[in-house]
A and B are shown apart, each in its own frame.
Chain A
Amino acid sequence: MPLLELNEVTIRFGGLIAVDSVDLVIEKGEILSLIGPNGAGKSTVFNLVTGIYPPTAGTITYKEQRLNGKKSYHINRLGIARTFQNIRLFPELPVLDNVKVGRHCRSKASVFGALLRTPAVKAEEKAIEQKALECLELMGLDHKKDEAAKNLPYGEQRRLEIARAMASDPELLLLDEPAAGMNSTEKKVLVEKITSIRDMGLTVFLVEHDMKFVMGISDRVAVLDYGRKIADGSPTEVQKNPDVIAAYLGKEVV
């Protein structure tokens, strides 16, 4: 029983088929990478899974529940959290509050709770802060908790996005190009963090450009080209696949 299953998922934007009947299976506890040239539709797959776009055809199933047509906030509550390719933090909010927002779906205080500030609400608020601090510590950002998110250097912003995603206690973590723009030291730290997240029992699904990064960290790699899946297997299998080589390096014209 896979954790997440995409079954012939297709999305069209007008005449463009961004994702073309893709089948994909993610097993619990693995790190799966989705790679492919620019514009292959990798981020679109993430947007489909997290409910930002509804698929034109096909089904997305998570723990035996259909995700098609579910809203993003609902999908988050089911246990899927994500980061974004072009970093989408809440820039004006302090680092700690960014992560607290990530805890939203696991807490319940309402408007009236906010106004009346009952003991239960106060206790919940304390628990939210505790969880947020844990997530910051996990990503090595606890010393920056009071700074505005916009003031963090790029690599730390990427890590903050992961901390925020972790605050909802997800079972499946989607990371959209987590290493983009990082230098090699930062990447090394990131690999450690992602591996430790997997060791905590989470399933990680990531989209990445950096081949070295992908091959080092992934249990399995799927390759997308022009919206179609052209390969799926262990990193070494995929590296040898002639279709993948053609997609990345171009084909020899005979």
Chain B
Amino acid sequence: MALENMGYLTLEELKAQTVYPTEERFRKGPVAVIECTHEIPCNPCEGSCKFGAIKIGDPITNLPGLVEANCIGCGICVAQCPGLAIFIVDKTYSDTQGTVSFPYEYNPVPEVGQEVDAVDRSGKVVCRGTVVKVQNPKSYDRTPVVTVAVDLDQVETVRSMKRL
């Protein structure tokens, strides 16, 4: 299996093992995609969400479950996850493009408008992307969140960008 010997899951495996947003929810706007598949004792994401859209409960090793109806895609959880395993995907950005927001703890941080190489879960460059937002407020505690616009058919594939 990819997870245990490559370090990442395929999209199909992720859909099977996590609470993945439905296509109906994707059509409504930005939503959190929680790619946390290992039952480790960790729950900052649950507490970070003011909308009750992430449920872990007791025991603390439960996988985080997305309550998609409550999620507004604000992205607060992205920087709070110590495992950097949460992403915001927006399939409604434009008719042809969607966006992916991901944690990016490398220097230099890209600038809005910059063209970057978008990579998939394995680090492979899959397409070009345009940085449309960079958030790095104090509350994110030095975990900048970068939002990249890519072609719609790539939003479920792209999970980061090649380091600059």
To the question of whether A and B form a pair in one complex, the answer is no
Interface residues of B (CB under 8 A from A): none
Q: A interface vs B, CB < 8 Å?
A: none
